Amino acid sequence: VKGKGVNAGIQNTLRNEPRRFMAYNNGIVLVADELHFGKTADGAVGISWIKGLQIVNGGQTTATIFFAKRKYPEIDLASVFVPAKIIVMNDQDEAAEEALVSDISRYANSQNAVRQSDLSANKPFHVEIERLSLSVYCPDGVSRWFYERAAGSYNTMLSREGTTPTRLKALKEAIPPSRRITKTDLAKYINAWDQRPDLVSMGSQKNFDRFMDSITGKEGEEPKPITKDDYKIMIAKAKLFRDTSKLARPMFVAGQANVATYTISVLAARLGERLDLERVWNKQGGSPELMAQITTWAREVNEILVRTANGRLLSEWAKKPECREIVMSSTFSAPAENIPELR
């Protein structure tokens, strides 16, 4: 029950909202050898007895309820209801019964993973970014970027609107997979530009959680509106991040993602105020001169990361705030003066 896990959530519901337990919990699955019905005190039909009862899915729920009550005796279990699916085994073949129980347990536990970022899809920030992605076209007036607010929505869009081979081809040309951005992608790009490469290096879900904490205003506070210009700047940052990652892949043996992330943070720290990101949006990428500068700094970032890791895994070292402090306070070569994006 430590941290923000499922068990902690079950325990919190039992303590604070016991009457909502049935609404929040997926329930348990049980198998039995026999089950008999009878009349309840008020004349309704109910289960009178069950023989050979066995829980095959729901041990986590059952155990957490038990230990929560033992730890917090004041919990009122009388108001807690748990939904249950009860399967009566008609086949008395022991081997067949064992196989069926195994299959029930496996299939009842099988589902696509629901990540924390999926549960944030309806936050106003993401709804607004999606709205802008549907209405703001690239400078060519034809193509667009796609913000995947809900997991799988890009493929859903292709299936829904690409009803013929010709339409599907045109759709993929206007909104290619390379212009699809997920919520965790955007969190990575923005945090890197905000010079938090240590957070980005912690992984997509942890970084996303920190990102959401940073953009969620205080209770009752109106979120800052996102304009078309804000959206274009976000896409420019996304494009530079992706192009930097592409450059880093063949350049370094290990830690390419960390090098790219730290390089973007260095770029933002040293040229952020002078960099014309509107030009990057209009050109849909950085100039050769800017990318050459990024390549130079990437090599310097890699040298610092490898040297200061002291034999540790570079991907683990990159997560440390100390690593961020060392890299961001290091001396880098001066930027070239011929970069067109520089104001």
Distance CA(133)–CA(135), nearest Å, equals 6
Distance CA(268)–CA(233), nearest Å, equals 13
Distances (CA, A) of 94 to 31, 98, 100, 108, 225: 14, 6, 10, 21, 64
pLDDT for res 218: 55
pLDDT for res 123: 87
Distance CA(269)–CA(80), nearest Å, equals 54
Query: What is the amino acid identity at position 37?
Result: F
Of the candidates 15, 54, 13, the residue with the CA atom closest to the CA atom of residue 33: 54
How wide is the angle at C-alpha 198 spanned by C-alphas 193 and 203, nearest 5°? Answer: 95
Query: What is the amino acid identity at position 70?
Result: R
Rounded to the nearest 10°, the torsion over CA 302, 306, 309, 312 is 120
pLDDT for res 105: 76
Residues of the chain with pLDDT under 70: 1-4, 109, 111-114, 217-223
**Three-state helix/strand/coil letters over 262-301:** HHHHHHHHHHCCCECHHHHHHHCCCCHHHHHHHHHHHHHH
How buried is residue 288: exposed, middle or buried, by Cβ count under 10 Å (0-12/13-18/19+)? Answer: exposed
pLDDT for res 220: 52
Distance CA(103)–CA(98), nearest Å, equals 9
